A = this chain, B = another copy of it.
Amino acid sequence: MIITMNATANGAEISRIIKHLKAKNYTPRTSVNGCIRVAALGKGEAIDWDMLRRTDGVAKIEPPEQPYILASWQMKPERSIVKVRHVEIGGAAAVVMAGPCSVESREQVLSTARAVKKSGAVILRGGAYKPRTSPYEFQGLGVDGLKLLREAGDATGLPVITEVLSEDDVEIVAEYADMFQIGARNMQNFSLLRKIGKMRTPVLLKRGAAATVKEWLCAAEYILAGGNESVVLCERGIKTFDNSLRNTLDLAAVALVKELSHLPVIVDPSHACGKRSLISVLSKAALAVGADGVIVEVHPTPEKALSDAAQQLDFNEFGAMMRDLRIAPNGTPVRL
């Protein structure tokens, strides 16, 4: 149930409700937006909702309209802005995250960080733990990669994002990164989601390659339900019958998610299409459809990259893309 308090409800009244829910074995979560809303999560004991409805301070009590309660507008009728250090995702400015698919060397990640910052990127991406189809492919530099990424972030002042693949790596990644990335293959790794839910590091949750919009929002709900409110969604293409491109970018889902949820959404055109020449127009379309930003793979010499060679932009291509998106090179992106 979602309990909406009166705008004039006071702390004591709110506390009483929360205490009652806890006593009945529900987990209460609140949102503040003009008035306070309290969601009663979980399967607690029977409650006399009609009586509760008549309690002081309570405006209304309604069942949730969606299985993703905390992610819905019903629970929080205000766009979420997720802060990654000084960068706001979901605010007025479109956010561009950029960097190499994999961190390969100090020189590689540092030069990329400088180049993407110069062109207007505000967050640095780079993989230290790589999810690879085959166990015999390059699996990333691990902790060494985390350190190099951190160093490049510090050198340029860019917050850094990197993928966390394993529950066991959550703490070490949190130590080095400003934002977790959960990859498409782990979107329904519920153990990982629960562990990330207990952290306070912001998280970028990629849509699974065969996840419906509802499944995606329910995956976000796992994190939100754990208490981590800094969730950004990322559309990165779905699997369809058409193998013309790596995946099928589902921009309508971005527009739909904006209707269903207050969470910010960004788009990853690199993995969606897997084809360098389309990244720029797809980024433009992503912003046109209402995305809060894009995450793009950039590499000093894409043809020599240890992973995803076909889809990484070089510095010049990235610069051209950013000009095409009309994002100022001083790092102050503007929303189209």
Q: Pick the residue among B165, B169, B191, B242 that contacts A166 (CB under 8 A).
A: B191
Given A188-B185, A189-B185, A190-B131 in contact, is the A242-B250 Cβ separation under 8 Å?
A: yes
Q: Which of A50-58, A102-110, A142-150, A207-215 contacts B (4 or more CB under 8 A)?
A: A207-215
A135 at the interface (CB under 8 A from B): yes
A residues contacting the other copy or chain, number (CB 8 A): 70
Instruction: Give the CA-CA distance A272 to B248 in the complex, in Å.
Output: 14
Interface centre among A185, A194, A218 (most CB of B within 10 A): A185
This chain: how many copies in the complex? 4
Is there contact, CB below 8 Å, between B244 and A256? yes
Is there contact, CB below 8 Å, between B259 and A253? no
Interface string of A237-264 (1 = CB under 8 A from B): 1111111110011111101100100000
Is there contact, CB below 8 Å, between B241 and A210? yes
Instruction: Give the CA-CA distance A133 to B166 in the complex, in Å.
Output: 20
Interface centre among A138, A215, A242 (most CB of B within 10 A): A242
Is there contact, CB below 8 Å, between A167 and B168? yes
Q: Which of A4-12, A16-24, A78-86, A275-283 contacts B (4 or more CB under 8 A)?
A: A275-283
Q: Pick the residue among B136, B165, B214, B240 that contacts A248 (CB under 8 A).
A: B240
A299 at the interface (CB under 8 A from B): no
Interface string of A70-112 (1 = CB under 8 A from B): 0000000000000000000000000000000000000000000
A288 at the interface (CB under 8 A from B): yes
List residues of chain B with CB within 8 A of the CB of A67.
Answer: 133-134, 136
Is there contact, CB below 8 Å, between B215 and A133? yes
A273 at the interface (CB under 8 A from B): yes
Which B residue sits closest to A246, measured CB to CB? B252
A63 at the interface (CB under 8 A from B): no
Interface string of A34-59 (1 = CB under 8 A from B): 00000001110000000000000000
List residues of chain B with CB within 8 A of the CB of A186.
Answer: 188-189
Instruction: Give the CA-CA distance A220 to B70 in the complex, in Å.
Output: 37
Instruction: Give the CA-CA distance A4 to B168 in the complex, in Å.
Output: 38
A225 at the interface (CB under 8 A from B): yes
